[in-house]
Structure 1
Amino acid sequence: MAFLSSRRRRARLAPELDDAALSKLLKSLQATMSTGTIATTDLCTAQISRLLDTGAEDWDRRTHRMSVLAYRLSESHVPRAWATREPRNVSALVLHAWAQLIRGRSQGNLEDATAVADCCLRAAELAPADPTPWVVLLGLARLQRLNQSEVFGLWNEVLTRDRWNREAYLNMLAYLGPEEMGSRIQVLDFVDAVRARTPENAPCAATELTALVMQYQSVLTLGGVEALMARKHWDHAPAAESLDRAARTWAQPGFFQHAAAVADLNLLAYALMAAERRVQARPVFEAISGAVAAWPWRVGGDPVSEFEKARNRSTAGM
């Protein structure tokens, strides 16, 4: 198959997904930071600012870019230095707060949750229409395990500014799960409500499939007989119908327009292969074009290796 041999489509871990401008920035930041020169921070912040100022009111794209940059820079001094130097720069404040949140999540606690919240609130005051400060506050509330009334309040603040904000929906899905502050029943209720009111091609359209994959992977982690029988998860009517709907439309050219569409296609390819729907998975792998999202593939091992094995299995016997 041509798409397997194409150099352009060789599997690679791509947190930026298909955002070419973000990919270019990430490579430039890596090169700049490796020089270790005195002006490194200034050069990095100038590059970051330039990208985030491009299409600044495309909230979906801004959230995606801010998220990827925060992950990449969570161990760097750059976000803090930028926010310190430009305390009225909304992008600097949000990036610093988001990077601190990610660092705190990886360590299990935040150095100063109040400072992170204050950073977000200052950004929200400076840019009332921007949802990203509220997205970070929502993530902070999850980390702090705040009560549901407070968390739903923050979620509504995001949705007031960006109705289908993908990051906000995924945060709520995780928060309402049994591993955090909810239950399986609450997840089902949330997914039902989202499915009933969400356009099929909205940025948050993968909420239901995300919940199904999370449940499937939780069964796999049990091991033993449960893990061996996990594939039957996809035979149940809700899961099968969700896969049917997604496989019918998601990989069609132009169906999805949101920034993280390739991540949702990764999710669909993973689920289709877990359900042994190889024929339906093939066009999804082609649409992904080798841009691997770490989750859900990382659960089985190295994400790129797991992706490649699944893609190869999808074409076995052709």
Structure 2
Amino acid sequence: MAFLSSRRNKTRLAPELDDQELGRLLKSLVATTRTGTIATTDLCVAQISRLLAQEPDDWDRRTHRLGVLADFLTESHVPQSWAAREPGNAHALVLRAWTQTSRARSQERPQDTGDALDCCLRAAELSPQDPTPWVVLLRLARLQRWEQPQVFGVWNEVIARDRWNRDAYLSMLGYLTPEEAGSRLQVLEFVDGMRARMPANAPCAGTELTAQVLQYQSVLERGGFEALVARNHWSHAMAAQALDRVATTWVQPGFLRHAKARADLNLLAYALMAADRRREARPIFEMLGGTVTAWPWQAGGDPLTEFDQAQRRAAPGS
């Protein structure tokens, strides 16, 4: 729960992004757990359940909220207690599975996922139209490096329910990178196939740019001369075109409407600054209003510091 920063300056790590109800819930959960009363778990469950019951068919919003809650509650007993009390509640099962998967990933113990697989499958049976059990299962498959036919099978289950699910596209992108279970060619094929069919403002619209940022950061991580000239990555045709495709549209008010739009705007600001396109980055920083996501900024150090420095470099006269 440490990410609820106590910084008083304008920039802030805000995993809820612009979801005000989710933000209020996170603050309320902090206050509730501090009381230390016997009924703490009941109070937390009631608050979480109430939020997840809203807009039940908005899969984009639901995926966002579950993901943020799972990261927030990684070290909490609440998801486990809720799932144990209500084994027929799909919300509880998905949250428990997602929390277990997030904890295993953060601890680099891919096999230590408890009953996450069973929870996903039970939730899928209880709520057949819901893509989120399959979203979590895709994360689990990626973490445990399942074989590609199995992973693509899970992927197909997600997109059959939510065609442009952002989390699913980014999970597949990560899985197909050379650093995990794929190759650069597979990444290119995946991105090209997606872009040919995807609406320009779909929730997964940031997938192509994410692929370019990941490749850019992999060059930086090598160090030495390659890191010194890493900025040249953005002058290559594919990287420049990926950036060009979104730089003029995403800045338009209301163009991006999905739950993680501000995460994608962070991505765009980072990429524009990496490409030394400061003037284009300026309105993106203004739109963000200081809302910072840990990735991709954390690649250079403390994300708030990196964001602040980039924002100052993009200011007029800098």
Displacement after TM superposition at 1:108 (Å)? 2.1
Contact 1:145 1:181 in 2 (8 A): yes
Q: Which residue of 2 aligns with 1:244?
A: 244
Q: Which moved more, 1:108-117 or 1:193-202?
A: 108-117
Where in structure 2 are the equivalents of 1:198-209 lying within 5 Å? 198-209=198-209
Q: Which residue of 2 aligns with 1:137?
A: 137
Q: Secondary structure at the match of 1:249?
A: coil
Q: 2-side partners of 1:91 and 1:76: how far apart?
A: 16
Contact 2:124 2:130 in 1 (8 A): yes
Identity of counterpart residues, as a percentage? 67
Equivalent AA in structure 2 for residue 39 of structure 1:
A
Q: Secondary structure at the match of 2:16?
A: coil
Structure number with greater CO (CA < 8 Å, separation at least 6) is 1
Q: Which residue of 2 aligns with 1:3?
A: none
Once the two structures are superposed, residues 67-104 of structure 1 have per-residue CA deviations (whole angstroms, 9 ceiling, x without a partner) of: 00000001100000000011111110100000000011
Once the two structures are superposed, residues 197-239 of structure 1 have per-residue CA deviations (whole angstroms, 9 ceiling, x without a partner) of: 1111000010000000000000001111101100010001111
Displacement after TM superposition at 1:128 (Å)? 0.3
Q: Secondary structure at the match of 2:17?
A: coil
Q: Structure 1 276/112 Cα, relative in aligned 2: closer, same or farther at 3 Å? A: closer
Q: Which residue of 1 aligns with 2:5?
A: none
Number of residue pairs aligned between Structure 1 and Structure 2: 312
Equivalent AA in structure 2 for residue 280 of structure 1:
E
Q: 2-side partners of 1:106 and 1:279: how far apart?
A: 36
Contact 1:9 1:291 in 2 (8 A): no
Q: Which residue of 1 aligns with 2:232?
A: 232
Once the two structures are superposed, residues 32-52 of structure 1 have per-residue CA deviations (whole angstroms, 9 ceiling, x without a partner) of: 111111110000000000101
Q: Which residue of 2 aligns with 1:300?
A: 300
Equivalent AA in structure 1 for residue 247 of structure 2:
A
Q: Which moved more, 1:80-89 or 1:102-111?
A: 102-111
Contact 1:9 1:289 in 2 (8 A): no
Equivalent AA in structure 2 for residue 32 of structure 1:
T
Q: 2-side partners of 1:279 and 1:134: how far apart?
A: 41
Q: Structure 1 83/13 Cα, relative in aligned 2: closer, same or farther at 3 Å? A: same
Q: 2-side partners of 1:21 and 1:113: how far apart?
A: 29
Where in structure 2 are the equivalents of 1:100-179 lying within 5 Å? 100-110=100-110, 113=113, 115-179=115-179
Q: 1-side partners of 2:221 and 2:109: how far apart?
A: 25
Displacement after TM superposition at 1:62 (Å)? 0.1
Corresponding position: 1:182 with 2:179: no
Q: Secondary structure at the match of 1:221?
A: helix
With the length of structure 1 as denominator, give the TM-score of the two structures.
Answer: 0.96
Where in structure 2 are the equivalents of 1:1-318 lying within 5 Å? 10-110=10-110, 113=113, 115-317=115-317
Contact 2:17 2:260 in 1 (8 A): yes
Once the two structures are superposed, residues 228-278 of structure 1 have per-residue CA deviations (whole angstroms, 9 ceiling, x without a partner) of: 100010001111111111111102111011000000000000000000000
Equivalent AA in structure 2 for residue 213 of structure 1:
V
With the length of structure 2 as denominator, give the TM-score of the two structures.
Answer: 0.96
Equivalent AA in structure 2 for residue 268 of structure 1:
L
Contact 1:100 1:110 in 2 (8 A): no
Contact 2:110 2:144 in 1 (8 A): no
Q: 1-side partners of 2:227 and 2:129: how far apart?
A: 46
Contact 2:100 2:114 in 1 (8 A): no
Q: 1-side partners of 2:297 and 2:110: how far apart?
A: 28
Task: List gaps (5 residues or longer) in structure 1.
Answer: 1-7
Equivalent AA in structure 2 for residue 28 of structure 1:
S
Displacement after TM superposition at 1:9 (Å)? 8.8
